[in-house]
Chains A and B, each alone.
Chain A
């Protein structure tokens, strides 16, 4: 009955949804922000630790939400580690395009490999009401980096 939904719920998404990585509070974080999706109740808190060059040395989150939003946050914390802040923001922009269109023609260069890891989430583009589930984590990351503290994917 649900076979065609395997494009949306790929094994990697179900896995990260069930067992999100970096699912913990980061003590002595340099940046943090809360992400909220008031319509559905998804909520997360994100912490970042910055390295000597201002790069993202560590990222972790806690929160609640659907499989898509949890998996997206989990994959995000894995992929932004070691990236410069500018790269992380660029990845967020590209991810938004990926989630909305299903493709990312300009996902190349230094971030190409990491964008490839996020590709399993591209299936949400066929589910307009679910795009915001996938992008909440990245909105929250942007808020943390820009110091706005609160993000919403509404």
Chain B
């Protein structure tokens, strides 16, 4: 009998990691900060902060322009960040990495350049009910643009999982040109079966865009193994700075797509009459790019890579199990979504407290959670929760003790409103 032993992921020394994040040592209203809003934006390790400071203090100039030392150094750093992002997603080529402002801009870029430049009238875009507005509104705008592009929506079941039968039904007529879905819901925590989605979509002639804003933070993403066509994530949720996002797309797609924004740096030649585009990725990076932010993102990628994505994933699995157990014990608490495969995002309601009142109370206990509809209004409507939910979302620095503090505060909050 052959026994294959999988090496256990190196366990994660959370205490040590927490020391890397200066902000986590502060107190809020006299209590230790319990930051459970990493899904909205994560905190930054010293390595990221220092890399950005170092860049501005010693190695800053505009990129791709000057034939002088500092500009060459800055250009090297900027392109090294692109190579790091490519490795992070296991992209085949760094030229497949386009830097954007965030995931929202990455999706808008695809909606504009692929949706308006490559898709044909009569084709459809298929999204799901659990999308963040960033992966819904750009497609509504495309639909309403008078180009004859239809917008279809795949249902989400009561467990908060993508209804794959519905997906197949909506792909069946072969009119869907692009499936644009999340890799992990920012509300339900649901991780979607991306390999199956890609297989289904490709079998029906549709390309696939995955919104990895949440997923890329929590597990190893390999775009070649997944087989998708477009993938995006944002720097600030990955412990990097705001103002930088990543769009990965197959080079052949980027080559077919017209530019998104026009300006400097994205052209091969310009006359007063017309311009010729630079090859990708420059074609999609008009104007001075986020240089310092790219350096920060590079440091963030190095940081999570050094900690190890498998270790981060294992740590998060332990947090999810712990949160599932502790939150289920809170009387009157209802969890939104009970997907089998899920990450560290928990949205919930408490029977006698409105989410906003609840988050004000939790703030008093030093706990930062988000209240509202988390940029996913249709999903909340789908579950009859127009008033919103509270959401606790975890990062690699989150501890089981913090989840205990949350659970205990929730019990007291319920008493407060009784």
Contact = CB atoms under 8 A, between A and B. Distances in A.
Interface stretch (A3-11, A25-33, A140-148): A3-11
Given A41-B386, A127-B360, A130-B356, 18 more contacts: A1-B365, A2-B416, A5-B360, A14-B417, A39-B372, A40-B373, A41-B377, A41-B387, A43-B386, A64-B387, A65-B354, A65-B387, A66-B356, A66-B357, A67-B354, A68-B356, A130-B360, A133-B356
A2 B354 contact: no
Contact of B360 (A1, A8, A64): A8
Contacts of A1: 364-365, 409, 412
Interface in B346-385: 353-357, 360-361, 364-365, 371-373, 377, 380
B138 interface: no
* 4 tightest Cβ-Cβ pairs between the two chains A and B: A66-B354, A66-B356, A41-B388, A66-B357
Contact of B416 (A5, A65, A130): A5
B416 A41 contact: no
Point out which of B356, B373, B409 has the most chain A C-beta atoms below 10 A from its C-beta. Answer: B356
A39 B371 CA distance: 10
A14 B380 CA distance: 25
B199 interface: no
A9 B417 CA distance: 9
Interface string A51-64: 00000000000001
B364 A5 contact: yes
B386 A64 contact: yes
B87 to A, nearest CB: 38
Contacts of A66: 354-357
A122 B155 CA distance: 44
B286 interface: no
Contacts of A9: 357, 416
Contacts of B355: 40, 66
A147 to B, nearest CB: 27
Interface string B382-418: 0000111000000000000000000001001100110
Nearest to A13: B357
Interface in B118-141: none
Contacts of B386: 41, 43, 64
Contacts of B364: 1-2, 4-5
Interface of A: 1-2, 4-5, 8-9, 14, 39-43, 64-68, 127, 130, 133
Interface residues of B, number: 22
Contact of B373 (A14, A41, A67, A133): A41
B357 A67 contact: yes
Contacts of A2: 361, 364-365, 412-413, 416
Given A5-B416, A67-B354, A40 B388 contact: yes
Contacts of A65: 354, 356, 387
A1 to B, nearest CB: 5
B371 A40 contact: yes
Nearest to B388: A41
B360 A40 contact: no
B387 A5 contact: no
A43 B386 CA distance: 9
A76 B377 CA distance: 29
A106 B144 CA distance: 51
Given A64-B386, A66-B357, A41 B372 contact: yes
26 contacts: A1-B365, A1-B409, A1-B412, A2-B364, A2-B365, A2-B412, A8-B360, A9-B357, A9-B416, A40-B371, A40-B372, A41-B373, A41-B387, A64-B386, A64-B387, A65-B354, A65-B356, A65-B387, A66-B354, A66-B356, A66-B357, A67-B353, A67-B357, A67-B417, A127-B360, A130-B360
A140 B310 CA distance: 52
Contacts of A41: 372-373, 377, 380, 386-388
Contacts of A14: 417
Nearest to B386: A41
Contacts of A130: 356, 360
B387 A68 contact: no
A1 B372 CA distance: 23
A51 to B, nearest CB: 34
A100 to B, nearest CB: 17
A4 B364 CA distance: 9
Contacts of B360: 5, 8, 127, 130
Nearest to B416: A2
Contacts of B372: 39-41
B356 A40 contact: yes
B369 to A, nearest CB: 13
Nearest to B352: A18
Contacts of B361: 2, 5
A92 B191 CA distance: 47
